[in-house]
Amino acid sequence: MSDEAASLEDSASDPLRRRLVFGGGLTAGVALAGAAAAQQRTDVEPRVFDGHPVPEPPADRSAGPVRPGRGSMLQGKTAVVTGAARGIGRAIAVEFAANGADVVALDIAGPVSTASNAKPATPEDLVETVRQIHAYGRRGEAVQADIRDINALRRIADQVEASHGKIDIVVADAAIQRWKPLLEMEDADWRDVIDNNLNGTANTLRAFAPKMVARRRGRIIVLSSMQGKHGTKNAASYSASKWGILGLMKSAAMELGEYDITVNALIPGLVDTPSPATRRGSATPWPSRGSSRRRPPRPSRPGTTALPRCL
């Protein structure tokens, strides 16, 4: 993987980072044009799963699609979101923008490993995330980088601080998943999932948290999974990585709390993003805590991601 971070447009003369910045210092109410002013879904894929409509949670169990004006104190904040090219990461990034934050959307936007079953995100996906951020009148920046490269992340942290003046919020969402029985895994099926999901999340904290420590304030959110709470058949490397993220979160919270930095974890259930979608048509039984004959779970949509209450 490349050790350089690069934005998606502008001059190729800067090999580290070609910036794509939309807007700059606009308030959330200035450019709420067209559909962006109303509730918005961030996902663009068909809302079907195994030929059936993807179920939506009832209104009292969901915040619904992205919606501005939820009352959160995000006006003027700067957020960095990894894994932001699509899925949950995009939903969080756009929700932040809808409620007043400027967002740096970071994603590898390309192949991660042979151990990832999902179709890789693309630079176009990352551009679409920033387009949705821009639709809410916020400053948006797309940065293409590999979270396994901590030196690249540290350079990005320096550059974000220089261009935005601060980093208020970091969301570590980037992850891959491998569906394969433990005893059939190649070395990469274990190593690369742990390296990207657990080590990459730790790298994100180690690169960006020092900026918060210097200001003695910050909010960090890491993405775990229900698979990290109860284990998953034929996905041991993913479950282990997500379980490890919970330990990382608890430890980081104790260490960083003295600087008024909170560290919390979101623990999603099954969401219809490209990772679980790769299970469609798989010959491997769906994960379950009972019989493998159990009907596969049906995911909800990432567009229903609520603005995290841990801010």
- Per residue in 10-27, pLDDT tens? 333 343 333 333 333 333
- The pLDDT score that the predictor gives to residue 280 is 39
* Residue 3 domain-assigned (yes or no): no
- Tell me which residue of 183, 217, 174, 260 sits closest to 1, measured CA to CA: 174
Q: Which residues pair with 83 in a beta bridge?
A: none
CA distances from 108 to 105, 119, 265 (A): 10, 13, 22
- One-letter identity of residue 142: A
**Is residue 238 annotated as a catalytic residue, yes or no?**
yes
The rounded distance, in Å, linking the Cα atoms of 172 and 231 is 21
- The pLDDT score that the predictor gives to residue 297 is 43
CATH of residue 181: 3.40.50.720
Question: Is the distance from CB of 25 to CB of 139 less than 8 angstroms?
Answer: yes
* Residue 309 domain-assigned (yes or no): no
Count other C-beta atoms under 10 Å from residue 243's C-beta.
18
* Residue 194 domain-assigned (yes or no): yes
The number of CA neighbours under 13 Å toward the Cβ of 306 is: 16
The rounded distance, in Å, linking the Cα atoms of 166 and 162 is 8
* pTM tops 0.85, yes or no: no
* Residue 49 domain-assigned (yes or no): no
* Residue 6 domain-assigned (yes or no): no
Write down the mean pLDDT value for the chain: 78
- The pLDDT score that the predictor gives to residue 311 is 62
Q: Which two tokens stand for residue 227?
A: 């698979």
Question: Is the distance from CB of 202 to CB of 170 less than 8 angstroms?
Answer: no
* Residue 61 domain-assigned (yes or no): no
Low-confidence ranges of the chain (pLDDT < 70): 1-39, 44-47, 49-50, 62-63, 71-72, 270-311
Domain count, the chain: 1
- The pLDDT score that the predictor gives to residue 86 is 92
* Residue 20 domain-assigned (yes or no): no
* Residue 40 domain-assigned (yes or no): no
Catalytic residue among 49, 238, 243, 286: 238
Q: Which two tokens stand for residue 198?
A: 């657990």
Listing DSSP states for 258-293 in one string gives: GGTEEEEEE----B-SHHHHTTTT-SSPPP-SS-TT
Domain of 92 in residue numbering reads as 66-304
CA distances from 192 to 69, 86, 139, 198, 237 (A): 40, 21, 33, 10, 9
Looking up tokens 């756009």 gives: 94
